[in-house]
Amino acid sequence: MQTPHRFRSKRQLWTYSGLGWRSSLDGSVVWAKALAPSIASGSDASCPNTGTIPCLLLQTIGAKTGPSGGEGMSQTTFIQRLNTNGGSAPPTGCSVPADVGKQALVPYTADYYFFRKDK
């Protein structure tokens, strides 16, 4: 049985380096990989917005306790990314050789759910 982590504030987690999250409370870290298949945007009630990045189920592939031994994130086993909005690649900007190396920041929002095994 998996139990959702409960966080008091969205500011308690930082996303960094792709699929990694660090707790701002205890410094613990978790990394995850996407499990296939993803849920295409607009194809399910949990991912209702079309034209956005897909919803995902991720499984942890690594974890680290915080500098003072905090384990808030290191107990995570699965992460869900649902209700995505935005984040899709721009429709232009990758069509000519001069575009190579250019970057575009594409904002998105999503609901993330962190799960751990029952104790």
- The span from the CA of 44 to the CA of 38, in Å, is 11
pLDDT value of position 17: 58
- The span from the CA of 33 to the CA of 20, in Å, is 9
Q: Which residue has the tokens 């034209």?
A: 51
Instruction: Determine the average pLDDT of the residues in 99-118.
Output: 86
pLDDT value of position 57: 93
- The span from the CA of 45 to the CA of 2, in Å, is 21
| Domain residue extents for the chain | 2-87+108-117
pLDDT value of position 78: 92
Q: Has residue 18 got a pLDDT over 50?
A: yes
Q: Has residue 7 got a pLDDT over 50?
A: no
pLDDT value of position 2: 46
Question: In terms of pTM, does the model score above 0.75?
Answer: yes
76-86/108-117 β-pairing: antiparallel
Centre a 10 Å sphere on the Cβ of residue 41 and count the other Cβ atoms it contains. 20
pLDDT value of position 34: 92
pLDDT in tens, 23-65: 888 889 999 999 978 888 888 888 899 989 899 999 999 999 9
